[in-house]
Structure 1
Amino acid sequence: MKRTQWKIHGEKLVDENRHIRLSTVDVELPDGVRFTQYVARMPRCAMTLVLNENREALLMYRHRFIIDRWVWELPGGYVDHAEDVANAAAREVQEETGWRPCSMEHLVTYQPSIGSLDQPQEIYLARCAELTDTEPDINEAEDIRWIPLEDAAAMIDRGEIVGAATVVAIYRALSLDA
């Protein structure tokens, strides 16, 4: 079977800062149809599913203004340019929750919306964590709780967890019987 890639006839920068590079790309399909597509490129993100010995996940309750909803999600954030991804994931857990993962195991890497967004997402699994004297960032979460993994899956069904990273991590951990 012959595979025909889409042709790129040019890319024009719309805006760029440290969090996003937005451009328009002139694309031609294999049948000759041409169109302009917006493309967003964002830095790599690292999130951590922290599980304790009772199979409870460390989740944060926060308001996401873009969708104007309160949701539960994993701690995580951008990876600094030269930073090790696992270290970034562990750092984010401590900054956002006050807990420090004991170990980091790569769980899955995925792209959340490859039709228009390039933003690698890396999820790690920590099977334990220690409470530190770090005060969680007040801007990150309204509440931080340990929630049984099976209850977190039910929260997805109820729409209380909607972020792709958290959904992927919970389902992946359940599939591994972590």
Structure 2
Amino acid sequence: MQWTNLNERTVYENRWFRVNLADVVLPDGRHLDHFLIRLRAVAAATVVNEADEVLLLWRHRFITDSWGWELAAGVVEDGEDVAAAAAREMEEETGWRPGPLRPLMTVEPANGLVDARHHLFWSGEATYTGHPAHAFESTRRAWVPLARVPDLVARGEVPAANTAAGLLLLHHLRRG
């Protein structure tokens, strides 16, 4: 069954996203007004060190009033290479510059409402460049044993879907 978007109009816009209202036709011919968010791509990155630990951020999300482990991530700027954006975000938020990045996965964490694709990368090396420029984005940055990832996800300590999916895949690839 395919829904058809006949047209949409912007009802709110800023530099990060647009909220649109779409006129959608359902397979049975009925029309549905559907709000959606148009968002630039998101790039995220982490590093796995020699001790098989992954670099993560511990942060509070005021929207859901929750704490959890996350990957360093942010929007891809206009004209910016996705991997370069992931490396930039990682260094800004952690103070670590990743080595060569490898694609991990691309996910659409809320594709019923938001069109953003999240591109996740990882590296096997990083260089510490100093205190993170965007330290305000997290309470702390830590090297977390990759072996703990499944338990952290199961306990709800990795609430962001993109981070949970990426870390579980990385755990599988490194362990399998």
Q: Retained in 2: the 8 A contact 1:49–1:169?
A: no
| Residue 10 (structure 1) aligns with | 7
> How many residues are matched?
175
Aligned: 1:110 with 2:107? yes
Measured in 2, the distance between the counterparts of 1:13 and 1:80 equals 21
- Unaligned 5+ residue runs, structure 1? none
Q: Secondary structure at the match of 1:41?
A: strand
Deviations 1:63-110 (A, max 9, x none): 100001111111111111111111110111111111111110011111
Percent identity reads 38
Measured in 1, the distance between the counterparts of 2:39 and 2:170 equals 26
Runs (4+) of structure 1 exceeding 4 A deviation are: none
- Unaligned 5+ residue runs, structure 2? none
Aligned: 1:162 with 2:159? yes
**Within 5 Å, which residues of 2 pair with 1:1-178?**
5-177=2-174
Match for 1:132: what amino acid?
Answer: T
Q: 1:136: how far off?
A: 4.3
Q: 1:11: how far off?
A: 1.1
Measured in 1, the distance between the counterparts of 2:128 and 2:5 equals 50
Q: 1:18: how far off?
A: 1.2
Q: TM-score, normalised by structure 2?
A: 0.94
Q: Retained in 1: the 8 A contact 2:94–2:135?
A: no
Deviations 1:35-67 (A, max 9, x none): 111111111110012111111110111110000
Measured in 1, the distance between the counterparts of 2:31 and 2:98 equals 49
Q: Secondary structure at the match of 1:160?
A: coil
